[in-house]
Structure 1
Amino acid sequence: MKYLSASGLSFVPGRFFLFAAMSSSIASASPSGSASFPAAADTTFTAWVGTYTKGTSRGIYRVAFDAAAGRFGAPELAAELPSPSFLALRPAPGVGSRLAPALYVVSESTATVTALALSSSGAATGSAASLALLNSAPTRGAGPCDVAVDATGRTLAVANYSGGSLIAWRLADDGSIERETAFFQHTHASHGHPRRQDKPHVHGVTFSPDNRLLLVPDLGADRVYVFRHDAASSSLVPHETAPWIDFPPGSGPRHAVFSPDARHVCVINEMGNTVSVFACDAAAGTFAPVADVPTLPAGFAGESTTAELAFSPDGLRLYASNRGHDSIAIFARDPATGRLTPAGHVSAGGRGPRHFTLAPDGRWLIAANQGTGNLSALRITPDGGLAPAATDAGATLPLDAAVCVKFR
């Protein structure tokens, strides 16, 4: 059954284009432990930026980023729709694949997920490709806040924050949302915080590198739920022996990320201002705790909550954002044990870094600062550290309520 076309989504002639990003394969770590970068044939990449639309922003914006100069182009409205707060791209199809490129967007205010087609024409040459509405589906829960596509490009998963639920669909060849395959309503709340944890708040969806598991952090439950994922049917079932991982009361697990070597998983705890590290056996679906490390510097006494985390391409560094301290925390990772060693903090280049991502060449960290309404570019140094964001014109990009940035 096909879902109806999205409501509240405008397609303005002349505005719906995509400049394809020429991404390169990621090189492995150098023997010295310094970051090693891929050679990029093209240093201009295109980012999609999600925003909240209560102010001047109107939807999803397309932004060109010149990685050679560390400069942003002017933002262009790509899709006008209400509060597209998180985005996910279908993995790039291989040669001969029947799967069409697509972008998926959750809108918190309408509790919908929308599928947008990216035409493949021009994708190999960097010329403009068209964007077209496919369809949308209700998420069956209020406040959808995260969306992910599995490695096969066939399963779509969404976390409903206010509704406290998880939902998944099967995707068609053309990228449209085909049919619902799973829905789970969470009921447990930890009550570690009297206001923020009085009910479940599902906050993230992360597929494992082998595509067998889906991790679902629930901020209100102080748990990360573990689901078995069947890529052939896009079905999800709770793990039979370890259906969840418990966290200390008041932690507020928000997002999870696997290390590039798939040996460890890190969970960022929004309220606890920590990163929890686990050694993982994805085949067995087991997670052994390694350590919890603070994201804030010693002595900081202000209000702050965490938001996003990501590994460097070589897996030797982990980055995490702090909202309040308004910084990116840097950690060195021991690949053998997974232990994280604090390696400093760098200003996020704005207030409230809700999300960040690494540019396709691995040389830049791009932060979406919700509080100040801007994108900032932090250069990744050869040792995996971060150089402070420049503040001159072009090095930072004003964009009201920018909350998510994704590169193709």
Structure 2
Amino acid sequence: MKLKLYTLLLTLSILNCTAQDTTLYVGTYTGGDSEGIYKLTFNTETGALTNKELVAKAENPSYLSYSPDKKHIYAVVEHEKGMVSSFKITDNKHLTLLSKVSTHGAHPCHVAINKSGNKAIVSNYTGGNASIHTIANDGTLTEAFQVLEHNVDSIVSHVHSAEFYKNQLYVSDLGKNAVYNYQLENDKFKLIDSSIVDLANHAGPRHFALTNNGKFIYIINEYSSSITVGQKTEKGFTKIDEDSTLEADYNGKNSCADIHLSKDERFLYASNRGENTIAVFKRETNSGTINKIQTISVHGNWPRNFTLDPTGQFLLVANRWSHNISVFSVNASTGLLKFMHDTKISEPVCLLF
């Protein structure tokens, strides 16, 4: 009887430990020691990162995105001859290459999938355009059915990110200093607005976060180290707030990188490359305005992408030049961060739970 009880308790303990573990995929640059896409085990109770393993050899997979059902992963190939790849996730969480197609532009740096999982858009930084692809039922990518060209005048385009929202498509162009809005019409995306909200001169919009209801947009500006807040109107967005991501006494060079809302949308997080910090903002959920409440060191150099874990209790930062991933705990009540520990990995630039 005691043996059966012990066996039952041991089984429950193992199941509980398994339930606390989730997989983190890491996109990297492969000019040094890295060979492609890695996976680590993340414990959502302790914040521990373990079991680093190469799961797909790939060239500069600097941005990764899931399919909605999390059965496939899409990765850019950041190179002069831009490509985007699709992978099937196997039973042991490794990745099997399914397809690789041209992005029709150099140095793709971002890929996003629509909610239905049947379209992908890839942002080409040097190419100054974005390619849109159909995704088949098996996860394979077709050749681009549309390319959004932004290099149409003397101002050099640098498309940096894009997101689908219902039948809308928003595209952030750092070079043009604008966020574009396209709308799906007759299976193609039609340009509705080439600048949805006023931005300061040479702000450099890089990434953005939309609220779930689409009412507010938060744009992180690489050059001006600021966040522009827009509120949805009938004719696009109107600017309602703008805040610096830097401490008032910081005088060095800085380039903002990534931005994310907490799951409950009460807090906003932004990464600073140069100051090497995460800026934390409290968000007024009704008005949409933000107020900075914390600046915390990333315990590394040149933070690129960062992410919140599935529980919302941890925030992880990919520090490219210090070759580490830093783990922070998140206070659910205040949104404030506390550094816990870090894990070494060569040139991490994208984190995907």
TM-score by length of 2: 0.90
Structure with more helix by fraction: 2
Aligned mates of 1:403, 1:261 — CA distance in 2? 29
> Is the 1:370–1:403 contact (alpha carbons within 8 Å) kept by the matching residues of 2?
yes
Structure 1: runs of 5 or more not aligned: 1-39, 94-100, 123-127, 191-197
Match of 1:85 among 42, 57, 62: 62
> Is the 1:213–1:285 contact (alpha carbons within 8 Å) kept by the matching residues of 2?
no
1:244-265 alpha-carbon deviations (Å, 9 max, x no partner): 2342221000011102343211
Q: Secondary structure at the match of 1:365?
A: strand
Residue 301 (structure 1) aligns with: 251
Q: Which has the higher contact order (CA 8 A, sep 6+)?
A: 1
> Is the 1:346–1:386 contact (alpha carbons within 8 Å) kept by the matching residues of 2?
no
Letter in 1 for 2:167: R
Confirm whether residue 272 of structure 1 aligns to residue 224 of structure 2: yes
Confirm whether residue 161 of structure 1 aligns to residue 125 of structure 2: yes
Confirm whether residue 238 of structure 1 aligns to residue 191 of structure 2: yes
Structure with more strand by fraction: 2
Q: How much does 1:389 deviate? A: 1.7
Q: How much does 1:114 deviate? A: 0.4
Aligned mates of 1:285, 1:357 — CA distance in 2? 32
Aligned mates of 1:173, 1:108 — CA distance in 2? 25
Over aligned residue pairs, what C-alpha RMSD do you find? Answer: 1.9
Residue 150 (structure 1) aligns with: 114
Q: How much does 1:343 deviate? A: 0.7
1:160-179 matches, cutoff 5 A: 160-179=124-143
> Is the 1:349–1:388 contact (alpha carbons within 8 Å) kept by the matching residues of 2?
no
Residue 74 (structure 1) aligns with: 51
Aligned mates of 2:153, 2:237 — CA distance in 1? 22
Residue 221 (structure 1) aligns with: 176
Aligned mates of 2:276, 2:184 — CA distance in 1? 36
1:3-402 matches, cutoff 5 A: 42-92=19-69, 101-109=71-79, 110-119=81-90, 128-129=92-93, 131-187=95-151, 199-208=156-165, 211-229=166-184, 233=187, 235-239=188-192, 242-245=193-196, 246-281=198-233, 286-390=236-340, 395-402=341-348
> Is the 1:188–1:221 contact (alpha carbons within 8 Å) kept by the matching residues of 2?
no
Aligned mates of 2:66, 2:78 — CA distance in 1? 18
Q: Secondary structure at the match of 2:51?
A: coil
Change (3 A) 1:77 1:223: same
Q: Secondary structure at the match of 1:85?
A: coil
Identity %: 31
Q: How much does 1:341 deviate? A: 0.8
1:86-119 alpha-carbon deviations (Å, 9 max, x no partner): 01101127xxxxxxx2100001124100011124
Q: How much does 1:181 deviate? A: 2.2
Q: How much does 1:285 deviate? A: 6.3
Letter in 2 for 1:346: I
Instruction: Could you list the structure 1 runs, at least 4 aligned residues long, displaced by more than 4 angstroms after superposition.
Output: none
1:51-75 alpha-carbon deviations (Å, 9 max, x no partner): 0011101100011111211110031
Q: How much does 1:296 deviate? A: 0.4
> Is the 1:277–1:292 contact (alpha carbons within 8 Å) kept by the matching residues of 2?
yes
Aligned mates of 2:351, 2:344 — CA distance in 1? 14
> Is the 1:226–1:238 contact (alpha carbons within 8 Å) kept by the matching residues of 2?
yes
Structure 2: runs of 5 or more not aligned: 1-16
Letter in 2 for 1:225: Y
TM-score by length of 1: 0.78
Q: How much does 1:228 deviate? A: 0.8
Aligned mates of 1:384, 1:114 — CA distance in 2? 39
Q: Aligned pairs, how many?
A: 335
Q: How much does 1:402 deviate? A: 0.3
Q: How much does 1:179 deviate? A: 4.1
Q: Secondary structure at the match of 1:116?
A: strand
Aligned mates of 1:252, 1:57 — CA distance in 2? 29
Letter in 1 for 2:162: V
Q: Secondary structure at the match of 2:337?
A: coil
